[in-house]
Every structure is written in C-alpha cells, then in structure tokens.
Structure 1
Amino acid sequence: MTNRVVGLDLSMTATGVALPDGSTLTVKPKGSGDRRLIVLRDTLAYMVDGAELAVVEDMPARLQANAAKAIGFVHGTVRTLLQDLGVPYAVVPPATLKAYATGKGNADKTAMAIAALKRAELEFGDDNECDAAWLRWAGLDWLGRPEFSLPAAQRDRLAKATWPVPKGASS
C-alpha cells in the first residue's frame, strides 16, 4: 500500500501543500490576475500527478464577493487539474477539518497548530501548511492508514466530507 495522499489548502496568494512524503510547502504564485491561476496549476501539476487521493479544503461558507470570486477560480482550476490527471479528490468543509483536528468546528489557527504539535510533533512555516497537513492526515485516516490516533468522535467527523473511491480500490 502506498501513502500517496496530498493535502491542498487552496488560495490565490498562498496555497498550502502537504506532499505524499509528509513534507509541506506554501506556493505563492507570481504575476497578476489569471496568470497566477496558470502558475498555480503548473506548479501543482507535478506535485499531485500520480497521487492516489487529493484532499482539498472547501471554500468557506461566508466570503465577500471579491474573495469568493478569486477562491472560486482557484478551486475550479485545481479541481480541473485533478480531473485531467485522474487524481480522485475529496472536498472537506473547513468546520469538518477543524473538528477532525481539534474536536471543535470553530477552532482557530492557533488551535490547529497546537493540535498538530500534540498529535504529530510537527510545527509548520505558516497556517496554510498546517491546514494542508491536516487535510493529508484526514485522507490517510479515511483510507484506514492514520499517521496517529485521534478520539473516535474526531475521526467520525470525516464522514461529513464527500470521499471518492481512490485509485486501485475496489468499489
């Protein structure tokens, strides 16, 4: 069994990525307007190609119009990339990810970082990388390969996301 799961915390300005080996990074596309979408797509393409599963944090429910437009474009670009590469993906609502990580659906960024330190003994360069790591861990957990144990109530929150049948799995 492989652990080729990636976590993606999408943003036009700073996308957090958790790679299959567990390392994390933040992609900050240069340029302006639609050019940043192309840079983000091209940068992520080699990182996600061949993954058995990508786990993407869904768009927040409440966004201002300009922010909603930008994040919508990012999600469309990345989801299309994943489909083109044949990488199945799950979309996890922000409150579900927070509840999975901390037990509370309204946890702040500090609580997410503390939970990562407590469970995985890891610190991250920024909150984008931390969220991406939690997305990857959620995917591994969903596949039955958790990197650490969590209370059952937290793990059960993953059922609130929509999960695809991963590559190579029987349906």
Structure 2
Amino acid sequence: MTAPTLFDPERPAAVMVVGPPARYRVAGLDVSLTGTGVATLGGTTLIPSTGRRKDTIVQRRTRLKGIADQVLTAVGVVDLAVIEGPSHHSVGGSVWDRGGLWWLIVDGLCARDIPVAVMPPMSRAKYATGNGGSRKAAVMEAAQRRYGAVLDNDNEADALVLRAAGLDWLGVPLAEVPDGHRAALAGCQWPEREAVTAR
C-alpha cells in the first residue's frame, strides 16, 4: 500500500498562465444637487433630490446627507472612484450646498479607503468627444455611441464617461478612444497608482 500523495504524479505540473488584465471596479460620479449620476460595473443610476431656496439649515443638512448616503450605497466597494471636479465658472444653483455635497461624498469615499480621482468638467467633455467645450448633449450622444449604453439623462452619461476614463487610466479601457480624447487624462488629479489595486 502506498502513501497518499497531494498530487497526481501522472499529471504534469500546473503551469501559471497569464490571464486577462485585472478587472478593476471603478465608479464614476457626477455630483449634482438635483440628480447625481453614478456609474459602476453594474450600470448607471440617477439619485434625484429636490429642495427649496428657503429650506432651513437643518433641512439642507438632511438633504445633503441623504444624497451622500445614497451615492455611497450605490458605489459600494470599488477600487477607484472618479468624481467630476467643481465647475469654477458655474454661477447657478447653490454653490455652498453643491460644494458641501461634493465634500461629503469625497469624505465618505476616503473613509472607506477608496482612492479618489478628480476629473475637471472640460477634461470629461474632451475624453468623451475630443472637445473640452462640448455641451452635455454631445457628451451623452458620444457615450451612447461609444459604449452602447442606453442612458436616460446627461448625469448618468457623465458618470459613465468618468468611469471609462478611470478604467482607461488603469490600462483596461472600456472602449478604444482616439489619442486626442485620451489626452484629457493628463488634466486630471489621479491618486498614486500603487494605491489602486483590483480587490
């Protein structure tokens, strides 16, 4: 009787095969007080919200915290979050509340140890269309065409483009884009690459 072995001597030793690139989980976030777009591996979603100019501080805080909590739930656990940066020339809406919401979401991501990248609006438009001055409708049309996505609104389109840019930066693009479009990645604030690992 022979002693049992942990392997079959008749079978050749396993050879390590290099597989496809790592499958990163990347989220794209287009933050808005009225409808935040979120794009993840599972698809795109819109988190709507309404408020009034005469809302009290408590009401405004409750609204912002509610939006942030829903966004973080929609994001889940990811390897990288790409969020659209503030539009410095924007004069509409409540600048204070919009900035506060942006920081609540970024703070929540950082608290989960999720690396965060910031993509300026013009870089997002350039990555999608090749033109940093493109309007949201053009970005949405480009996103639908390039990624074959069915998108209900421009917030989700922007979020999808942000997610695609993050995957491209990681070397696993969602789709091939022209070099002129990819040049937009240089205008973004990226985390240390070593901090982003496929989990």
Q: Tell whether the structures are fold-level matches, with TM greater than 0.5.
A: yes
List gaps (5 residues or longer) in structure 2: 1-21, 52-58
Taking the aligned partners of 1:150 and 1:129, their CA distance within structure 2 comes to 19
Task: Identify the match of residue 189 of structure 2 among 145, 149, 162.
Answer: 162
Task: Report Cα offsets for 1:43-83 as digits up to 9, x if no partner.
Answer: 12223332100000011111227522121111110111011
Alignment of 1:1-171 (within 5 A): 1-21=22-42, 23-29=43-49, 32-64=59-91, 67-165=94-192, 166-168=195-197
Q: 136-145 or 11-20, which moves further after superposition?
A: 11-20
Structure number, greater radius of gyration? 2
SS of 2:94 mapped into structure 1: helix
TM-score, normalised relative to structure 2: 0.79
Q: Percent identity?
A: 36
C-alpha offsets along residues 115-170 of structure 1, whole Å, 9 cap, x if unaligned? Answer: 1122112231111000000000000001000011111111121011010134338x
* Distance in 1 between residues matched to 2:172 and 2:197, nearest whole Å: 15
RMSD value, Cα:
1.7
What SS is found at the alignment partner of 1:8?
A: strand
Conserved in 1, the CA contact under 8 Å of 2:33 and 2:50?
A: no
Name which of structure 1's ranges 98-107 and 36-45 shifts more when overlaid on structure 2: 36-45
Per the alignment, in what secondary structure is the counterpart of residue 36 of structure 1?
A: helix
* Deviates further, 131-140 or 45-54: 45-54
Mapped to 2, the partners of 1:162 and 1:63 lie a distance apart of 20
Normalized against structure 1, the TM-score is what?
0.91
Structure 1: gaps (5+ residues) = none
Distance 1:135 1:116 in 2: 10
Check 1:25–1:49 CA distance in 2 against 1; reply closer, same or farther (3 A cut).
Answer: closer
The 8 Å contact of residues 30 and 39 in structure 1, kept in 2 or not, is answered as: no
- Higher helix proportion (structure 1 or 2): 1
**Contact 2:24/2:197 (<8 A) preserved:** no
